[in-house]
A and B are shown apart, each in its own frame.
Chain A
Amino acid sequence: MFPIFKNKRRALAVLIGLALLITAGVLTAGGQFDPPAGDDWISASVADLQHRLDQSTNPAEQDLLQDKLNRLNHIQQTRQEAGVQSLPPQPEELCPALSQAVETPAQREEGVLLLEEHDYEDLDLMADNGWQGWVNGNWVRVLAGRSPATAGGKLLVFTENVGFQGFDLPAPLRIESASGSRLVLSDADGAAYYFDVAARQFLAAPDEIVPTLPPLPTFTPQPSRCP
């Protein structure tokens, strides 16, 4: 016998340790999601609500559960009646046509913009005004304003088919003018700021020379899978 097992306490400790290790392994073993056939959400929910309804003694709960159960039963019944039919051919008249352009040619005018829409809360911007134009072969739109979250300033630069960049600023700015792709902005106190759209950066002085960004990758439109 190994010396360690001569002492019953030690042997007990080792045994317990081993048992715990094995048990932990068994208990933490995962598996794959494998619902039984017919166990879609509607079926599962109907069964769950019916069980709760059968157990409930609260009239308010019973009414609520019955109403929800009726709605889910309707879905389940509709699905079952329809079954999994073979699909009809894709209707041509409903097939999406070419992408409906959001922009119109008139919106392609270059220069400083007076915005009709200011709310870009999903990008944390309440815009004041903007600028748009062609920069190195890309259509670019710049929006300036404030951040609703911080009440500081914010500048967003949108490059068509590429995406946007955000610049957080100490104070809200407004675009005053543009020279080529260089923007002159000002804050509430009238202090001037300069932003080079081609370089996507603020400048220390209006005549500062900064490198232009390398060319952006060519955009390849996603083909429609609709015949």
Chain B
Amino acid sequence: MKIYFLRLTVARQGFILIPLLITLLASIAGSAAGQDAPPPPTPTATSSNAVQSTTALFLPLISTWQPPPAPPYASSIYIQNPTRDALYNLGCSQGSRDRNLPGRQDNLIVLAFGKMWLVNGEYTVRTFSNPSSGLRANLTFTDLENRARDYILGYVFCSDGESLLTLAIGVNNYDDMNVDNDVHRFSSNQGTLRSTAYAFGQRFADLAQRLNAWSAQNGYIGRVWTMGAINIEWAGPECNRDRTYCAYWWNTPYVTRGWVDGFNANSERVQTFFNFGACVGCPTTPNPNWQYHTAMPWNQAEVYYVSWGAPPALPLPQIYRNDGYLARQWQAVSLYGDLYLGGAISFPGVMTQYQACQQRRTSDPTCETLDNTPEEGWTQLMNELNRNNNTAQSALRWVTDIRWQIR
């Protein structure tokens, strides 16, 4: 009887072995091989470096890594109707949900207000279109602060008295912030765009600081913490009706870094923000030679910086694609950081858009393949990160699913 010694390498993330099963099957297989197995075939001519073996042993080694169950999701909102009453009710809805769930909840919620917008020199955020009226609102930072307070009040007074809320006040990097006062053209002045984005970033850090101070003064800080947020994305050019004018309408990394650096400058080494964007067109492996386009030179190093490399940055990637591709892209950014920059990323959570797709399924055909449930998005990223020891993480604590405020 032959004795086989197996050396098993255990991955950091762990896997499940069935030692008794293996022992049992090994002894049976060995016995079977000794008595019934046909003689090994006569070796034929082989190349010098071929592995020669006269004995084959097949054991059903079962190895798997199963992520823990996904946490319950919270609902992030694209804001379309920014009345104070509506914001209070949104916060109250989330609080009521927590009251009705057992135990203490730990929510991450992004209120995505729209895009940065200058109106006669005043810094505002232009909300998403109200599907009921066809209007958009321009909110000053005082307006934003009041709306965030209303949401917090709605949350804490409808909640259960123990659940936690991290509230991120968000914007995106789409459009030219109206720096040229011309909505039909995208400003070509990268310097002006960057300095304007920087000033916006400063204001978002100030906003988070003021809201946290207000929460502390009013006794909510043990339950509610406020951060900034920015949806950083990019896309191909858009053209006018007769195609005489085409431009990229998302901002370059140079401009977007302005927002990030402005936030950092005013963060007082305390405030943080989330990048809740997508890594548009990114490769699924680390690639220092990749960039999206020469006119829109996003690359993995830039994505890393605005998501993790900048001190206040935290990533909240949108993982909405059903085939898991987005999770592979973000794992590659993390691995890129591990190989070339300041280490891998620690992801605090993921964002999906299942509810938004449910709301617009009939009008948005892309939703057919972009509607991961929160659990699916969370599982995809968790699995991809733990595919490699250098990007593995044991916890992915948050999942938030975004929806339209109205539809």
14 contacts between A and B (CB under 8 A): A23-B18, A33-B71, A40-B106, A71-B267, A82-B221, A83-B222, A87-B157, A99-B84, A100-B83, A100-B85, A130-B134, A149-B238, A158-B132, A226-B88
Let me know if B397 is at the binding interface, CB within 8 A: yes
B174 is an interface residue with CB less than 8 A from chain A: yes
Least CB distance, B4 to chain A, in whole angstroms: 16
Q: Name B142-191 residues within 8 Å CB distance of A.
A: 149-150, 153-154, 156-158, 161-162, 164, 166, 174-175, 183-184
Q: How far is the CA of A58 from the CA of B216 in the complex (A)?
A: 37
Q: Is the CB–CB distance between A119 and B133 below 8 Å?
A: no
Q: How far is the CB of A156 from chain B (nearest CB, A)?
A: 7
Instruction: Give chain A nearest CB distance to B41 CB in angstroms.
Output: 18
* Residues of B184-242 whose CB lies within 8 A of A: 184, 212, 216, 218-223, 225, 238-242
User: A33-B69, A225-B88 are contacts. A148–B238 as well, Cβ < 8 Å?
Assistant: yes
Q: Is the CB of A20 within 8 A of B219?
A: no
Partner of A225, one of B35, B154, B219: B154
Q: Which residues, 340 to 397 on B, are CB-close (under 8 Å) to A? A: 341-343, 346, 348-349, 363, 393-395, 397
| Given A122-B128, A160-B133; A33-B70 close (CB under 8 Å) | yes
Q: Write out, one digit per residue, whether chain A residues 4-35 have a CB within 8 A of any chain B CB (1) or not (0).
A: 00001100100110011001001110111111
Answer whether A99 and B85 are a contact pair too, CB < 8 Å, given A31-B68, A141-B133, A163-B131: yes
Instruction: Please name all residues of chain A whose beta carbon is closer than 8 Å to the beta carbon of B309 when the two chains form the complex.
Output: 64
- Please give, as numbers and ranges, the residues of chain A lying within 8 Å of B94 by CB-CB distance: none
Q: What per-residue 1/0 map shows which CB atoms of A67-99 lie under 8 Å from chain B?
A: 110111011001100111111101100111111
A160–B62 Cα distance when bound, in Å, is 59
Query: Contact between A64 and B21 (Cβ–Cβ < 8 Å)?
Result: no
Q: Specify which chain B residues have a CB less than 8 angstroms from the CB of A85 in the assembled complex.
A: 219, 222
Docked complex Cα distance between A200 and B397 (Å): 46
Across-interface contacts of B92 in A (CB, < 8 A): 225
Most chain B beta-carbon contacts within 10 A, residue among A27, A56, A171: A27
Are B269 and A71 interface neighbours, CB within 8 A?
yes
Number of A positions contacting B (CB below 8 A): 91
Which candidate, A41-49, A178-186, A205-213, is the interface stretch facing chain B?
Answer: A41-49
Interface residues of B toward A: which range?
A: 35 or more
Closest CB of chain A to B300's CB: distance in Å?
16
B14 at the interface (CB under 8 A from A): no
| Docked complex Cα distance between A65 and B346 (Å) | 10
Q: Which B residues contact A (CB, under 8 angstroms)? A: 16, 18, 21, 25, 28-29, 31-32, 35-36, 60, 62, 64, 66, 68-72, 78, 81, 83-89, 92, 104, 106, 108, 114, 126, 128-137, 149-150, 153-154, 156-158, 161-162, 164, 166, 174-175, 183-184, 212, 216, 218-223, 225, 238-243, 249, 267, 269-272, 308-309, 311-312, 314, 341-343, 346, 348-349, 363, 393-395, 397-398, 406-407
- Supposing A33-B69, A102-B81 touch, asked if A146 and B157 sit within 8 A by C-beta, the answer is no
Contacts of A119 in B (CB 8 A): 126, 136, 175, 183
Task: Choose among A16, A71, A74 the residue with the greatest number of B CB atoms under 10 Å from its CB.
Answer: A71
Instruction: Name the contact of A151 in the complex, choosing from B78, B218, B243 (C-beta under 8 A).
Output: B243
